[in-house]
Amino acid sequence: MMARPNPKAHGFTLMEVLVVLVLVSLLTGLLMEGFAYVLRLRFSVTTQLKRQRVQQLQEHWYRNLLTGLMVNSRDEPTLFKGSPTVLQGQSINTLDAHIGVLQTFTLTLDIKGDHTTLRYQSSNAENWILGEWTAGTAAFSYLDYQGHWLSDWPPKFGVVSQQLPNAIQVHIASETQPITWLVSLPGRTNPKPRLDDLL
């Protein structure tokens, strides 16, 4: 005699298999979408961190260069000159010489259309790009001892009793993020008095 098949011993029905497949595909889709979102977020954060590191390095170079500005002796003409787009002076913190070595440098803001480039050039004829931004306006400005911001140094009008401004600022009106770097130069605006000056 032949044994009858047990109705409970059957496998899954077609409907049950289809429901499981639909649920698995929905979960897989959600997981893949979440994974793609995490990857996009990671890429965005990494890009921002890289951009921030570059800006910090550029600002460090700018600040280091300007904090090393030196004044001339009283017998020499003033070597520090500044306009809205060009800044010239002598620094002991130039980018291409040992720290403490006095060297002449020039910072230039090249503005061409909506593109701005900050260039560094030393007396060694080194010419480096310190930064590039999508910005149509950028300028240096100089703070005098009375607290006024000037576009040129030494000032065109009036008597200047100091060789260096109290502070130097560069403002770059970038489309992504405006940049303003301010470097204070307190206490170094005039040369130290010599014995001949005191006698």
Rounded to two decimals, the pTM is 0.71
For residue 151, is pLDDT > 60? yes
Q: What is the pLDDT of residue 77?
A: 61
Which one has a higher pLDDT value, 157 or 97?
A: 97
Using CA atoms, how far residue 123 sits from 64, 70, 100, 103, in Å, is 17, 15, 15, 7
pLDDT of 122-141, one tens digit each?
A: 887 778 888 888 877 899 99
Q: Which long-range contacts (CB under 8 A, 24 or more apart) does 76-79 make?
A: 78/154, 78/163, 79/104
Does residue 3 lie in a domain region? no
Which one has a higher pLDDT value, 95 or 142?
A: 142
Q: What is the pLDDT of residue 156?
A: 75
Domain span including residue 123: 60-191
Does residue 172 lie in a domain region? yes
Distance CA 132, CA 174 (A): 10
Does residue 49 lie in a domain region? no
Domain count, the chain: 1
Does residue 99 lie in a domain region? yes
Does residue 34 lie in a domain region? no
Mean pLDDT (the chain) is 83
Q: What is the pLDDT of residue 93?
A: 86
For residue 79, is pLDDT > 80? no
For residue 32, is pLDDT > 90? yes
Does residue 141 lie in a domain region? yes
Which one has a higher pLDDT value, 114 or 1?
A: 114
Does residue 134 lie in a domain region? yes
- What does the pLDDT average to over 46-58? 88
